[in-house]
Structure 1
Amino acid sequence: MLKTNETVLEIDLGALTHNFNYLKSKLQPNTKFLAVVKAFAYGSDSVAIAKHLESLNVDYIAVAYTKEGVLLRDAGVKTPILVLHPQPINFKTIIERCLEPSIYSARILDEFIKVAESLSQKNYPVHVKFNTGLNRLGFLKKDIDNIVSKLSDTTSIKVNSLFSHLAASEDKNEVDFTKNQINTFKSIAEDFRSKLDHNPWLHLCNTSGIINYPEGHLDMVRSGIGLYGFGNSPKEDQNLKPIASLKSVISQIHFIEKGETVGYNRVHKAQGYETTATIPIGHADGITRVYGKGKGFVFINGKKAPIVGNVCMDMIMVNITGIDCKEGDEVIIFDGSHKASNLAEASGTISYEIITAISQRVKRKIHSA
Structure 2
Amino acid sequence: MSKVGETTLTLNLLALEHNYNYLRAKIEPETKFLGVVKAFAYGSDTVTIARKLEQLGADYLAVAYVSEGVLLREAGIQLPILVLHPLASNFEDLIAHHLEPSLYSRNILNRFLEAANAKNQKDYPIHIKFNTGLNRLGFSEADVNFIAEETKRSECIRIVSCFSHLAASEDINERDFSLNQIASFKNLSGALMDTLGYAPMRHMLNTSGILNYPEAQFEMVRSGIGLYGYGNQAKVDEQLRPVASLKTIISQIHEIGANQSVGYNRAFKSSHNIKSATLPIGHADGIGRQYGKGKGFVTINGKKAPILGNVCMDMIMVDVTEIDCKEGDEAIVFGPNKSAENFAATANTISYEILTAISQRVKREVINT
TM-score, normalising length from structure 2?
A: 0.99
Deviation at 1:313, TM superposition (A): 0.3
Q: For 1:317-344, what per-residue CA distance to the aligned partner results, in whole angstroms no more than 9, with x for missing partners?
A: 0000110100000000000111110111
* Equivalence for 1:49: 49
Q: For 1:166-196, what per-residue CA distance to the aligned partner results, in whole angstroms no more than 9, with x for missing partners?
A: 0000011100000000010011111110111
Look up the equivalent residue of 2:308 and give its one-letter code: V
- Counterparts of 1:27 and 1:267 in 2: how far apart (Å)? 51
* Equivalence for 1:84: 84
Deviation at 1:152, TM superposition (A): 1.6
Look up the equivalent residue of 2:368 and give its one-letter code: S
| Partner SS for 2:186 | helix
* Equivalence for 1:264: 264
Identity %: 59
Look up the equivalent residue of 2:57 and give its one-letter code: N
| Partner SS for 2:192 | helix
Q: For 1:112-134, what per-residue CA distance to the aligned partner results, in whole angstroms no more than 9, with x for missing partners?
A: 01110111100000000000000
* Equivalence for 2:31: 31
- Counterparts of 2:236 and 2:57 in 1: how far apart (Å)? 24
Deviation at 1:6, TM superposition (A): 1.0
* Equivalence for 1:211: 211
* Equivalence for 1:222: 222
Look up the equivalent residue of 1:214 and give its one-letter code: P
* Equivalence for 2:154: 154
Deviation at 1:17, TM superposition (A): 0.1
User: RMSD over aligned Cα, in angstroms?
Assistant: 0.9
Indicate whether 1:96 and 2:123 are aligned: no
Structure 1 unaligned regions, length at least 5: none
| Partner SS for 2:333 | strand
- Counterparts of 1:188 and 1:348 in 2: how far apart (Å)? 37
Structure 2 unaligned regions, length at least 5: none
Deviation at 1:2, TM superposition (A): 5.1
Q: For 1:174-228, what per-residue CA distance to the aligned partner results, in whole angstroms no more than 9, with x for missing partners?
A: 0000000001001111111011132100000000000100111110000000000
| Partner SS for 2:196 | coil
Indicate whether 1:16 and 2:46 are aligned: no
* Equivalence for 2:242: 242
Q: For 1:289-324, what per-residue CA distance to the aligned partner results, in whole angstroms no more than 9, with x for missing partners?
A: 000000000000000000010000000000001101
Alpha-carbon contact 2:2-2:330 (below 8 Å) kept: no
Indicate whether 1:191 and 2:191 are aligned: yes
* Equivalence for 1:320: 320
Indicate whether 1:114 and 2:106 are aligned: no
* Equivalence for 1:292: 292
* Equivalence for 1:276: 276
Look up the equivalent residue of 2:138 and give its one-letter code: G
* Equivalence for 2:367: 367
- Counterparts of 1:37 and 1:267 in 2: how far apart (Å)? 38
Look up the equivalent residue of 2:105 and give its one-letter code: S
TM-score, normalising length from structure 1?
A: 0.99
How many matched pairs? Answer: 369
